Structures are given as C-alpha cells and as structure tokens.
Structure 1
Amino acid sequence: MGNEHGKDFEAQVRDMMAEDAYTIRPSSAPYTAIRRKGTIERRRRVAAAGAVLVALAAAPVAAYAVNGNGGDGSVNTAAPLPSTRASQGTTPTPVQSAPVGPAGPAAPGQLLDGITMAQASDGLEKCIAWQIEGQKGVSSRSPLTDLGDAADYRIILALNSTGDSNAPGDGIYVVAVKEQSKQPQLTRLICNIKDGKAEGVNIRAGSLKFDNGGPVMPDDNGKLDRQSFIDKGNWKLPFRWGSIGRVESSVAKVTVSYGGSTSEAALDHGWFVASGTLTEQVTLAPHVKGYDNTGKVVYDSDNDTGYAKTLP
C-alpha cells in the first residue's frame, strides 16, 4: 500500500515537471539598456580625444601620444614625444645678439659729468680709429698701431676735459684699459674727444709687472690731474680732475688727496680710480695712499721715489 502511494506521488511530480519545462525560461537580456550604456561610453571617449587634440594644437613645442589600456591591463598616460617640426603658421623669432663694445666700469660713479656708457664707447672707438689712421706707415705690430678693437677694452673712467692754451676747447676724457694674456702686456688709453671728434690719444703699453716695488702704482700720465704746462699758475677753474693707477689684490682701499680734499678711489679689476674738482690753483701732485684689509698703510706716494710729488 505504501509502495503504491509512493509511486503515485513520484508520477505526479514527473508530470508536473514535464509540463513546466516549457514555461520556465531565462529572462531576456536587457538589450536596450546595454545599447544605451555603450552609446554613452563612446561619446565620452570621443569627447576625451577631442580635448587632447585641442591641447595638442595649442602646444607647438612638443607632441603628445595618448594611449589607452595596455594588453596587460596596465594604463598608459600621455607622454611627451620629440617635436619633429615647428607648428604650422609659426615663424621662429630670430635670436638677437648682444651689441659688441667695451666693458663698463665697476661702479656707475666712474662715468662722471653726465657722460653715458654709449658716449664713452663711441669716443673710444673714434680714438682707436683716429690713432690707427694717423699711424699708417709706422712699422707694424707697434703698440701705437696694434690697438685692437674697442671691444677688447674696459672703460674705467670718463670725465669732462678742460681746454687750455696748448689744446683749446673743452671736451671729455675716456680712459680704457686692455690686458693681453698671450703676451702679458697692458695697454692703457686716455682719449680726448671734442665736439664728437677724436683730438688725441695718450697711450701707455708695457709689462703687467709693477715697476715701483709697491702694491700700488699711480699712473702719472700728466693729462687727467693737470692743465698744460704753458698755463702753469693760470689754470681755468673749476677744474675736474682724475687720478688712476694699478693695485694688487692685497690692497683693500686707496685714497687720493688733491687740493685740500681727499677722495676714496673705486677699485676696478686691479685699478684704482679717483676724481674730484679743484677750485683753486695747486702745485702739489695728488697724494696716493693704499691700505690693506686691516687698515694698515701699505703704500704712500710720498715714499715712492719714482713718483713726482710736485707738478712741473
């Protein structure tokens, strides 16, 4: 009895399963939703690529490669690539070379009386050209003819010059120096410019060594600190004066006393440069003193046997 009842129950279950086999099926795929999501994703990628192209158009210096996902799942970011050509429509700006000319002084105060660096440079160029033209026919390689170019020099002083009986007419003095390392030699020029023209050049060329045995060697040129010997006792006043000379690196300070006043000189690449104004006639030459970094006097022109203490 029991076995028959069990068989009837199994038969009923099989019948029920056979009937439902045709009604149970998997739900259909959400095709509409998938298509909408794919469209949105493609639009996003197109927008991102367009943004990159705009950035590239605005960046003429370098191109960029934009990569997507790598085959191993890694992500590659934008990387700069060498530019192979200039951007279309872009004209390279030519590099402007710096003007060629002499070097300027260490301190602006070495250009006096409103004289500009441009005026001093122009005066130096005219003096060199004037000297070379006037020395044509002189033996070659003479210090008077082999002056080089203005660009080889450094201007250390420019100031007004006062005309005298020997050379009438006021003008300006430009002092420039040049050192040659191949053949150790120093060239110093004092150019006199009047009415925009070169009127004379005082030249000193020689060894770089000091010949007075001291750490300071004044340049007794007879131009910057006095008027003509013809006008002795009858100078035109006020008179702008200058004093220059060479100093060793151990010298920390130089003073120049002239006509009752004392000026501290500027130190400029191995030179001292001082200036002032005389309001009365003088007979004593500028008094030069040098000091080390402790304030000790290491040079006094009064003790220099090669330095003239009085004016001629």
Structure 2
Amino acid sequence: MNRRFWLRFGPVWAPEDGGAAGGDAAAAAAAAAAQAGAGEPPPAKWFEGDLLTADERTWLGAKGLNLDDPLQAIPKLVRGHRSAEQYMGKGVDRIIERPADGQAYAEWARANAAALGLPEAAEGYQITPPESWPKDAQWDTGFETAFRKVAFEEGLPPAAANKLVGLYAEKVKGLADAAEQGYAEANTKMMGELSREYGDQVPVVIARAKQGAQAIAEKAGLDAEALTAVTSRLSRDMGDAQTIRFMAAIGELMGEDSAIGLGKGAGTGLTSTRSQAEQALADFMKPDGEWAKASMNRDPGAIARLRPKFEQLTRAVAALSGK
C-alpha cells in the first residue's frame, strides 16, 4: 500500500497518544457498566420500602409528598404535623376516636375512661347532697349506691352524675314540700270546719275522739303502733274533720254508757274534761282501790285485768291536757 496513506493517519493510532487511549477506556467502562446493570431494577425510592404501608404511600401521593428527594418532603410533613397540633390544641397521640358504628356509648366510654376522667370503680363517684337539701331530712344512701353503679356502667361523667343527683333531690324535696303544704292547708280547713261547728269546744271534741278511738282499739286488741296510727288522724296537726266527728260521737256515746255495750259498768265511762279525767284516775288509784291492792299484793292476775283501765285513764288525762 501507499506508505504516505498510513503516515497520514499515524497520530490517530499511535499508542503513545494517551488522550485518545484514555477516552476510549472511559467509554468502554461506561458501556460495560451499562451492560452489567441492564438486568437489575433501579434502587427503591425512600417511600417505596417497608418503612411505609401501602395506604400510607397512597396518602403521600395524594398529598404530593412522594418526592424523589426526602429532604424536600420532610419540611412539608413537619409543617403539616405542627399545624394539626396547633389547630387541635393537643398532640395527635391524645386524640380520642369517636365510637365505631354500632358501638355502645358505655363500651366506648369505658375504653377511654382515663381520657374522659371517669372513675375506675363505682365507688369513685363522689356524690354529695345539694345545698338546698334539708339538714334534718334523711338521705337515701341505698338509692345513692344503686345510682353509682348505674353511672359507672353507663360511663356517666362525674359532674353530670352529681347534677342528676341534685335534680332528683330537688324533685323529692319539692314533693315533700308540696305534701307538707297540703297537710297544712288541710289542717287549716279542718280546724275551720270544727271551729264553726263546735266553737271553743274543739279541744274537748278532739280529746273525746281520741278517747273513743283508744277504747275501740283496746276492744279490738290493737297494739300501740296501730293505736298511734289511728289517733294520728285525730290530732290538731294531721287530723281529719270527719274522722274526729265520728270518733267524738263514739266517745260521747261511751261516756253515756250507750255504745253497743262498750264502756258499760261502773267507772268505765269516758270523760270530757281534764278535771273529770284526773278525778277518775285518782279514784282508780286511791289507796283502798283495786289497783292499789293488786299492786301491793303483787297479784299478776289482778294487775293484768286492771292495767287496760289504768292505761285508758292515763291516756285520757294526757289527751285532755293537750299532750
């Protein structure tokens, strides 16, 4: 071949031309690296690994935070978190989830008892009577215990529990006040009726009614409790005008020894004045009387027979004395 042709291209192929050789080596290395990595996937992005769940990655994408460079996403995440805390006034970790669909409030409240300030047991409810509750009125501790149990089971806040107790107490107090006012009005009406009918003899009529009730109660074998229930209807404070009239008529008849055989016999008639009652009691207890002799001789049979008469006379004196 023509020697001049090869001499023209000599510098290109010359081995001592380091620049040309270096360029060829770099290109060859890049090509080899590309060929070697052609079968491997590219490295995962920071949000594509196991660090986040699929839902969290979806959320990042929806918020535009799935950036290739995590340093660009971090400031946005920090600002969003702080903004949420400032808006809600507390940390995200202290947020209470609302009840699930179909979940009972009591179950949800018990699961969040600490956050809601609920006591750990029914006894933890501090129930106090309202200030308006009368000091001398009895407080139903049994009902209070039952209410505590219900409040605990239903997850009732302590403040609400006390408000409900106060509301119930006011209702009970109102009923008691209404009943007391009703008694007072009825008593005023009763005394007005008796005063129009008997004038200044009303105390005598009431005493006679009590005597009649006591005598009949003794004949009927009623005990002291039953007798008290009967005579309570004959008092100035809680009496009933019709009942007082009825029992006074019986007492008057018995005083005349004419009430269907009751009160017959010497010394068994009822008295209508305090002096008569005191005289009858004095006659009964005179030293030479049966009561004194029975007591002196300690005769249980005679004492048992005479005691009803003794008690009748002492009650008559007490009734006519206004006691």
Q: Which has the higher strand share?
A: 1
Q: TM-score range by the shorter chain?
A: under 0.3
TM-score, normalised via structure 2 length: 0.22
**Larger helix fraction of residues:** 2
